[in-house]
Chains A and B, each alone.
Chain A
Amino acid sequence: MVRLTAPFSEGMIRELKVGDMVEISGTVFTGRDAVHKWLYEGNIPPLNLQNGIIYHCGPVVIKQKGSWIVTAAGPTTSIREEPYQAGIIEKFGLRGIIGKGGMGGKTLEACRKFGCVYFHAIGGAAQVLAESIKEVENVFGIELFGSPEAIWQLRVESFPAVVTMDSHGGSLHKEIEEQSVARLKSLVS
């Protein structure tokens, strides 16, 4: 188990390899479809994303006694952000993307070039992942994007994930797919 604690740096990201199981502690920013399109179009949010981690997630957040509480926060399918992700990694100097299902070649290349990794969270584990969110530090764009699509700045502790795309061109998705294709061939021949 690799424990990854903020502040995140290029050096610590470059040390991660495909297949590493990690627990992330520090700040992450949620962002899904609307936010990715908006950032890609050249807009700058009033939040410091430099060296940050973006989490593909539309959380369920409620207000309790004046403060925000995240009640469900599993990952959403990442591949929808493939057209935008590489440009956003470069522009904002992101160090990590958290999501599910993996991403494509453009993102993998941006990870290699700019020092970023893809963390695969456990799809469907909305309650466990919400438990690891300790605090809502800030939020931007509730009116602009709607609550699930807003950028939620969250403090997480021991958020569990697996590195499935690293900053050296490695992709677990590619490895597993190639292996399963080969095994399928032997099963149906």
Chain B
Amino acid sequence: MNKTQKKNLEEAFIEVIRKTSTDLPKDVADTIEAAYVTEEKGSRAEYALRIIKDNIGLARLKSQPLCQDTGSILFFCHYPERTTQSELLKLFRGAVVTATKKGYLRQNSVDSLTGKNSGTNIGPGSPVVHFEPWEKNYFDVRLVLKGGGSENVSIQYSLPDGRLGAGRDLVGVRKCILDAVMQAQGKGCGPGILGVAIGGDRASGYLASKEQFLRKLNDRSRNTALAKLEQECLTDANKLGIGPMGFGGNTTLLGVKITALNRLPASYFLSVSYLCWAFRRQGARINYNGEIKRWLY
């Protein structure tokens, strides 16, 4: 890539960050709208969802972060094979620094040993970029900003789980998923969206659970057993009565997305990632010259 292409690409990454942080994707905003009308008039749940709706509109209008916790920065990048990861990583880092200066991202990266904030969002483990080369001639760059409150209530189970009476099958998986929702209550800034991975090791399981957030809220798993489980868990979770912010109500979750990885015979992990209602996920197709050709959500 020449200098101009690099400059354009970095600009495009900044725009992806801005849009992700300030403009909730349509599939999520529509789901919140639909949930709002299911809540009883004058209820606390309706009150919370109304403020959430107002906040979505206001953040978009002012181009300001939806939530001041702009979270972990998780990029997923497909790139043309003739580009190198090292040159792209520089551009991602540059974009993060600029987006932080512009206020699209909060200064959110703290040294775990000294407690010092890097001030730039750059440091060991930040930002996270998952690269995958492909034969196409354009970039597919997706971003998830995951707030700390929601990450704190994410949870991993090792089945069988004696406490829950959860065995190594989809019945056991359902028990764990509902337990995760129960334990989270309103603390993850619900109504939330669950990304779930059955199997894998502890690291690949959590990664695959987060990749589920790249799916559209209204899609269905191609695997019929998982599609059924997703629907069941969503319906059941919304019967728990936890509601928006844990205030009570019909809307505890907005979506459940489940995938499965192979596992070792000895292991059966279930990784459940919780994402708050401020479901900041966006993506763009960007051509080799660094121009955004279209938004993906």
Q: B-contacting residues of A (Cβ < 8 Å)?
A: 19, 21, 58-60, 71-74, 76-77, 100-102, 120, 122-128, 131, 160, 162, 164, 172-173, 175-177, 179-181, 183-184, 187-188
CB atoms of A176 and B185 under 8 A apart: yes
Are A187 and B247 in contact, with the CB atoms below 8 A?
Answer: no
Question: Could you write out 11 A-B pairs with CB less than 8 Å apart?
Answer: A60-B68, A71-B103, A123-B67, A124-B147, A124-B277, A125-B51, A128-B58, A176-B241, A180-B185, A180-B240, A188-B178
CB contacts (< 8 Å) of A125 on chain B: these are 51-52, 54-55, 67
User: For chain B residues 72-115, which have a beta carbon within 8 Å of chain A?
Assistant: 103, 106
Q: Which residues of A contact B126 (CB under 8 A)?
A: none
Question: Which of A19, A71, A177 is the one whose CB lies under 8 Å from B185?
Answer: A177
Closest partner residue, chain A, to B179 (CB atom): A184
B54: chain A residues at CB < 8 Å are: 125, 128
**Which of A73, A101, A181 is within 8 Å of B186, CB to CB?**
A101
Find out whether the CB atom of A188 lies under 8 angstroms from the CB atom of B241. no
Inside 8 A of B51's CB, which chain A residues have their CB? Answer: 122, 125, 128, 160
B181-210 with Cβ < 8 A to chain A: 182, 185-187, 189
Residues of A within 8 A of B174 (CB): 188
Residue of B nearest to A188 (CB): B175
On chain B, the residues within 8 Å of A120 by CB distance are 245-247
The 3 closest A-B pairs by CB, nearest first: A123-B189, A72-B68, A127-B58
Chain B residues closer than 8 Å to A131, beta-carbon distance: 58
- B67 lies within 8 A of A126 (CB): yes
* Chain A CB within 8 A of B239 CB: yes
A77 to chain B, nearest CB (A): 6
Chain A residues contacting B186 (CB-CB under 8 Å) are: 101-102, 123, 173, 176
Known interface pairs A131-B58, A183-B241. Does A100 touch B68 (Cβ–Cβ under 8 Å)? no
Q: Is the CB of A128 within 8 A of B44?
A: no
B residues within 8 Å of A by Cβ? 44, 47-48, 51-52, 54-55, 58-59, 62, 64-69, 103, 106, 147-149, 152, 174-175, 178-179, 182, 185-187, 189, 236, 239-243, 245-248, 276-278
A127-B182 contact in complex given A77-B149, A122-B52, C-beta closer than 8 Å: no
Which residue of chain A is the closest to B242 with respect to CB atoms? Answer: A180
Kindly list chain A residues whose C-beta atoms are within 8 Å of the C-beta of B152. 77
A77 touches B187 (CB 8 A): yes
Q: A21 CA to B68 CA in the complex, in Å?
A: 23
Smallest Cβ-Cβ distance to A127: which chain B residue? B58
Distance A164 CA – B246 CA, assembled complex (angstroms): 10
> With the chains together, A19 CA to B246 CA distance in Å?
11
Residues of B within 8 A of A183 (CB): 239-241
Q: Which residues of B contact A122 (CB under 8 A)?
A: 48, 51-52, 55, 245
A124 CB contacts on chain B under 8 angstroms: 52, 55, 66-67, 69, 147, 189, 276-278
B245 touches A126 (CB 8 A): no
Tell whether, in the assembled complex, residue A187 and residue B178 are in contact, meaning their CB atoms are under 8 Å apart. yes
| B47 in complex: contacting residue of A73, A162, A172, CB < 8 Å | A162
Is there contact, CB below 8 Å, between A19 and B44? yes
* Residues in B whose Cβ lies below 8 Å from that of A101: 149, 186-187, 246
- Contact across chains for A60 and B189 when beta carbons are under 8 A apart: no
Of B65, B179, B276, the residue contacting A123 (CB under 8 A) is B276
What residues on B are CB-neighbors of A187 within 8 Å? Answer: 178, 236, 239-240
Contact A126 B241 (CB under 8 A): no
In the complex, chain B residues whose CB is within 8 Å of the CB of A181: 182
Name which residue of chain A comes closest to B165, CB basis: A188
Q: How far is the CA of A142 from the CA of B277 in the complex (A)?
A: 31
Distance of A59 Cα from B66 Cα, bound (Å)? 13
